[in-house]
Chains A and B, each alone.
Chain A
Amino acid sequence: MSEQFPLETILANFGRERDNLIPLLQEVQERFHYLSPEAVQAVADHLELSENDVYGVATFYAQFRFVPPGLHHIKVCEGTACHVRGSDRILDAISRSTGLKPGQTSDDGAFSLERVACFGSCALAPVVVVDDKVYGRMTAAKTNKLIEDKK
């Protein structure tokens, strides 16, 4: 019940108009860190939309996840400034040391990896964000050390 209760509280804060769909999905993901099939069903029921419709919107936007993220969520910035300063090398380094491709979560649930278009912290390029902390001016070697420390 404890898992269900907050979902219902979130739903209760929103009216049934369609323009609540994206804010509602954002709230649900904020609370549960991803959109489970049950959560999508509940949102669809609340807004009187089909599940298809809700999935159609949710999968359109990069923000929404359908599998739980890892304990440590790693985001690699792929903005232009980061690219010209070597972000693809950083992504490679992380993929090698965690065995993950972007969008994946490790089997033990320790890490997940995501590519992000731009954090707007271009002066610190290249940028990696781990658990919402920003690490600027990264190199492949610094990234490897960062991941090792989290293991």
Chain B
Amino acid sequence: MSASTTTLHPAALARRPTGRRNYARQYWLFAMPAAVVVVAVILFPWLFTFVMSVNDWKVSGNVYFVGLGNYEHLFHDPRFLWAVVRTLYFTTAAVVAPMLLGIWAAVCFAENFKLRGAARTIFILPMMATPVAIALVWTMMFHPQLGVLNYLLSLVGLPPSSWVYSSATVIPTLVMVETWQWTPLVMLIVLGGITSLPIDPYEAAVIDGANGWQMFRYITLPLVWPFIVVAAAMRIIDALKAFDTIFVITNGGPGTSSETINMLLYQTAFGYYDLGYASAMVVVFFALILLLSGVLLRMRKWEHGV
């Protein structure tokens, strides 16, 4: 390791008058406001959450230190363990489906065709709607007897579905809502990447006799990969924190069939008023998010390899 990173000549450093103020030592004054904000709004809540998680902390009761008792309970609580499984299932499906459809839509919208602008505008409309409002509309459409979706199925000769009113179909149905709403976002990000690509590689590929799939696989995909990773990162974060649509449409039901970690910890904190146990869930959930972030970082490295 080099001894110094300065570009000043050592002689110049040696000549510096000892009586002059060293401004470098006062930089902390400028960083202080930001540091205070970070401590107040990020670090303190986290520390406080951790403190709550090691206590038996009920809203209307006394507070008792229980050490890792809440964490121990967590790993023996089947409701929590199933919530983790459901969160991962929901997140995987709610990332993969919009990603595939969004990339496909971006490739389509990159082509020139009539009314392309109008089609794009219509395509991104779901993304602009308020999640709670669209959740209420979907809830009405899912009604097994009176909802429009089963009526549409009957028009094409298909049997009715129970949609969110069945344990077997509730998560796929919620993923369908997420996909409907967030595919446009993926499309916009990937389309931005595609439109910025140079056309030379495609011209060369055409001369070499490459077909459409080969051009997509070996030119488009590697070049827009950074955009895809960004879209995937945003989707993972969104899907992990999904709460509003699930809360409005199913509230975690039927039974606990759509109870993700978010739903369970909300219910534990604000339904059962057990803040200590809910805080332990938050800490474990945070660890899970860190783990997934690590996977994403790996993907970034792989992207550089590509």
Are A and B co-members of a single complex?
Answer: no
* Contacts from A to B (Cβ < 8 Å): none
* Contacts from B to A (Cβ < 8 Å): none
